Structure 1
């Protein structure tokens, strides 16, 4: 029996072929960047860290998908694709513009579904009405940037929303029958090991289907990198083995049926300040699995209803 529910196994319930996400930058912004809720964005954020070369805003959604498809199809000609609206807040615009971009993505040959990354405070009911209908004709996963369940932390990193906003958005989305995911960052300043692990029980109360865990990374050019320079004592940057044990402690507290998409993020070396573990995502995952076997650990081992 696997030690945790992995994302590739989850996708096989929906697709009988290999499926790959293609990241998109659809030209959106965020309410904590444009002045509606704040300026400067999240203190840790530099969107260059997750935008592949084909993700340029001067290119249309269709052009980005076609380039991404060409990149992957050389090696896997039979592969299908999920259009991953990843950069910034991908539900933060007029409804008609959002619909046009989502439909453009679905019109590209080989695209079999959408993954839409957004914030908990950017999901109006009118958009949910449309997404509920869209969900009946294609694969759809809405992924919320939760980052932390602690409101003090959310204020410190300039998120511009509360954990109550997360609870509300996740519940409203899942109630429409839409697959709902979350993203959290482990190791944010001010959060102890116990604070972080206690998140798992709170998130397990929500109707989340999938969850991504990422380590805190300090990225050049961000406000957080400047804060670290000024006050390094306020940060705890995990060594790799220490972080692996933190992940396992977290996973043991999680609801057993939640799907874990990933444990780490990989930022471009030229932008990364720390921690630099020198591991690919799959190498890190193998180390987690090995350590779980050593500890006789598995997802939900310590989960309490």
Structure 2
């Protein structure tokens, strides 16, 4: 008998069904923001691994209004699911890094588009001022809202090396303040950053489990053309471990998820970049193909989320989209 996905890990589609009785799709937006480590406030050049072209669809261009980007995104997805509803995903760069009134206009423009039923706002842990958080707390009373923080690593040494411009303490503080306002709070981490070992990466899962996170995206490190990290790799390839074999990365992810708090929703395991930008690793797998291999391997290992979590005696059992202890 096949084991349902939500017995292996707390998956994102099941999470969304708790909020929406219909199919929901994120539409990525580029709202013209920058980052404090690009404009000189915190630093220059941005994160060493970052090239935002890797996650901007063709419709996602700053010269287009938010409404236009959303309408074009809807046309792209509606061909397959005509009755789909949408979440406006403010994704590119730091989407809380502007003055408050301008942010309000952008968010509210998105919510005025037909069939947009909520917002997902991607940002940095050091870019959530109190005034904006109070506004989002009120907005959250009227629409679906999630704030997603780029955590990337729980190690300050790594954060300095990749030019993040913030500390893990900033992450813990921002996640705590946001969750305390009743706002769904997500995080994003990268596995395989230079200097981090298998054990430190798996240990990160326990550290993040202490935070009041609702969701987590896990991505492999990808070397992208035109980034500072790509040049660092040419100079010192020995500093990098890029998971040339997908099965090695799969086993790392399983070890990670086994140490992760069971109620955290795992939204993604991998990222996919355009072929013309990607240097490595290139596994030649679509996202769904990777997930199928991951699930197969989890079953082979009798693995599931939280199996080795330190509070495993409080383990949550997933069944019929409900949680019981």
Q: Do Structure 1 and Structure 2 share a fold, with TM-score over 0.5? A: yes
Hey, which bits of structure 1, 4+ residues long, moved more than 6 A?
none
User: 84, 94, 102: which one pairs with 1:97?
Assistant: 102
d(CA) in 2 for partners of 1:88 and 1:42?
A: 10
Which among 191, 194, 199 is matched to residue 186 of structure 1? 191
Structure 2: distance between partners of 1:16 and 1:87: 28
2:299 to 290, 293, 303: 293
**Which one of the candidate residues 256, 274, 277 is aligned to 2:262?**
256
Note the C-alpha offset of 1:73: 1.1
> What residue number does 1:241 align with?
247
- Unaligned runs of at least 5 residues, structure 1: none
Match of 2:220 in 1: 215
CA–CA separation in structure 2 for the residues paired with 1:76 and 1:253:
36
Structure 2 distance, partners of 1:115, 1:216, is 23
Which residue of 166, 170, 177 corresponds with 2:171?
Answer: 166
Q: Which structure 2 residue ranges, 5 or more long, are not aligned?
A: 312-325
Instruction: Report the CA distance between 1:37 and its aligned residue.
Output: 0.3
CA distance in 1, matches of 2:297, 2:82: 35
Name the residue aligned to 1:137.
Answer: 142
Superposed CA deviations along residues 225-277 of structure 1, whole A, max 9, x for unmatched, are 00000100000011200000000000000000000000000000000000000
* CA drift at 1:75: 1.6
1:279 and 2:285 are equivalent in the alignment: yes
- Counterparts of 1:208 and 1:222, CA distance in 2: 30
Select 2:83's aligned residue among 70, 78, 81. 78
Deviation at 1:196, TM superposition (A): 0.3
C-alpha deviations, 1:68-109, integer Å up to 9, x for none? Answer: 011111221100000000000000000000000000000000
Structure 1 residue 42: Cα displacement: 0.2
Q: Could you say what secondary structure the match of 2:256 adopts?
A: helix
Aligned length in residues: 305
SS of 1:213 mapped into structure 2: strand
TM-score (norm 1): 0.99
Calculate the TM-score normalised by the size of structure 2: 0.93
Write the mapping of 1:8-157 to structure 2, written as runs, cut at 5 A. Answer: 8-157=13-162
**Does 2:3 align with 1:3?**
no
| Deviation at residue 208 of structure 1 after TM alignment | 0.0
Aligned to 1:226, the other structure's residue is in SS state: helix
Q: CA RMSD in A?
A: 0.5
2 CA distance for matches of 1:201 and 1:42? 25
Alignment partners' CA distance in 2, 1:161 and 1:179: 22
SS state at 1:297 partner: coil
Structure 2: distance between partners of 1:136 and 1:37: 33
